[in-house]
């Protein structure tokens, strides 16, 4: 039973990362391997721009104004 749970947890992590990478690739319109704030916010509704701008800034760990896939796929801490 324990092995099955470990396998399921591993699969969830792998597929979660893959989905995040797919989403990142869709947003990366110029295919430069990073997201500008404009690319990140491109499809965000007007009423959520401020909130999502804060998400962008918080995920931009090296403060270069772009998100790479590792920064984009960071899970929120609650």
Q: What is the pLDDT of residues 55-74, one digit of tens each?
A: 999 999 999 999 999 999 87
* pTM of the predicted model as reported, rounded to 2 decimal places: 0.71
Q: What residues have CB less than 8 Å from 39, skipping those under 6 apart?
A: 27, 28, 29, 30
Average pLDDT over residues 39-46: 94
DSSP H or E run through 7? helix 2-27
Residue 15's pLDDT band (cuts 50, 70, 90): low
Q: Which CATH architecture has domain 2-72?
A: Orthogonal Bundle (1.10)
Boundaries of every domain in the chain = 2-72
């Amino acid at each position: 039973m324990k092995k099955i749970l470990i396998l399921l947890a591993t699969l969830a992590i792998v597929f979660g990362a893959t989905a995040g990478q797919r989403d990142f690739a869709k947003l990366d319109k110029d295919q430069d391997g990073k997201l500008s704030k404009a690319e990140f916010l491109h499809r965000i509704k007007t009423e959520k721009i401020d909130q999502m701008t804060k998400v962008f800034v918080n995920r931009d760990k090296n403060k270069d104004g772009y998100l790479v896939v590792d920064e984009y796929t960071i899970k929120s801490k609650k």
